[in-house]
Structure 1
Amino acid sequence: FEASVGGGVPIIRTLREALAGDRQRAVYGIVNGTCNSILTTMTENGVEFSAALADAQAKGLAEANPATDVEGHDSAHKLCLLVTLAFGVMVKPAQIYTEGITQITQADIEYARELGYAIKLLAIGKDDDGGIEARVHPTMIPDRHMLAGVGGAFNAIYIHGDALGATMYSGLGAGEMPSATAVMADILEIARHRLAEGSARTHAFGFPIRLMKGASVKPMDDVVCEYYLRFTAQDKPGVLGAIASVLGRYGLSIASVIQKDRGKARTVPVIMRTHDAPERSLKRALAEIRKKKIVQSAPAFIRIEEKL
């Protein structure tokens, strides 16, 4: 069981025992080594997703069919356990918004760096006084944050508690020996219970599952984030203003803009970072921008977690 989230990283016992006396408010996990390795290769080598995936497969870090990893499902399954251990409620994979890394481009990596961010696939759980956020998606985080420096196949779980504050637990998330240490820890726990009580019976989550309540998971449309937006726009006057006008009508204010290659091509990339807004408002604004044909192709967006 200990190996089921962070491989060799002892996060199960940490949440179940060491942090049991605190109230956890948020959990942010880099819990899929394949995705983290791919994003690290894209960032460090300047290659696109397909080349980074092929490199990961050649190194044995990605399966021949990597869909479960790169589409975020593996991370979502692990987030179910993290939410239960951190907040004491049961959540099912179907309740977790899940988005993978297949649409991340080298352009997104470069613009993120210019804006001061790194892109990571995060499993995010938050407890807002009983309203649970549970979501997996590519996320821009400040490049100065500890999670931004977790590279390659390493995993990391960053936790916010009311009393303890922020702590992070990092190490190898897969591999024979890291996983073996976690398996042996489970065996030793069972053996100790047998010696102490004459029984191997233990509660994996620290108390009986039948006592747990189902989680009330916040709809993704109600989640509030900052956003990175990437548009492919015609290189002509008024386009930037038209985009900003639509965003403004839906309550999205612009924090910064990057516009490059003016005068060099018929279409140019327009990059915007917004302030906090509900995702419902963002989706409605992007749908209107696309409908009015202000931009050449479907806008891309990545959620930003500025204050982890």
Structure 2
Amino acid sequence: MLLDNEEDTYVPAYDLTSTGRIAEIGGGVQGCSRVMKNAALGAVPDLRNYDLSNAQARALLQELDGSGVDVRWLRRYVTDPAIREGVAMDAGVSIGTLKSSFYAVLMGGTFAPVEGAAIMGYVAGEVGRARAPEVLAALAGELRELQRIVDDWLVVLRSASIQTERAPRGRIRNRCGMSRPIPARDDAAAWRELRAFVLQGWEKNYVFNLMKLGKRHGFVPVSDQHDGLVVLGSIPHAAHVEAVARSGFTLAKLADKPFATEKDRERYFADRPMPEANEDERGS
């Protein structure tokens, strides 16, 4: 951490969450915006920010591998930026709104044109309330295959659950070894939590295994970022390969990214240097 051009030491403390993630107590750097992370960490020599690209979408692909669910649309969407750009253009929204809407559907969001609905809010915030219902309908059409895949995933979750006396509908165990009961069908909030619980298990298992490989591969983990890791040094491809083998997350794609974007540079940091973006990416 850099304070007035002098380095200071900050040691994060964590609590274990019910999904297997570790949460920095008080939020800390883990809960900061990109701008704040850059202000705290961006000028520290040899400190790098690694992130799992499209982490939860790739985790869903991994989760459904071998399930019989047709995931061809999702695979193309996740792996080909041109597909995402085409979907956004055809729906009449920005990539940012598409991304927010995509993950809202993943977590149980709907395309209902009503006040308070997350996707409606994303769309209205971009195109205005007058045009929102029209654009919302177009977006729903573009993401209909995602909705079908998510619906099929819920069937897979129910069938994969382990029934117990205390959980008659069954329990689901994620890749971190944590378990959670299958909720009632009409408990939308609990189903959102269960989806996140399963997908976060994949990303966290990978990140935990990557952290443990630091000494062997010459990097020092500094800050857990849920679906990424801040380290001193650099993470070699061999460490990524080993973390994939240990976690089973074969679709994980690790990217070395700046703490803040070029847009952040122009808006907030015109008078101070920022680390240059490193396009180095490691993926299976």
Q: Is this a same-fold pair by TM over 0.5?
A: no
Higher relative contact order (CA 8 A, sep 6+): 2
- TM class by shorter-chain length? under 0.3
More helix by share: 2
More strand by share: 1
CA radius of gyration, larger in = 1
TM-score scaled by structure 2?
0.27
TM-score scaled by structure 1?
0.25
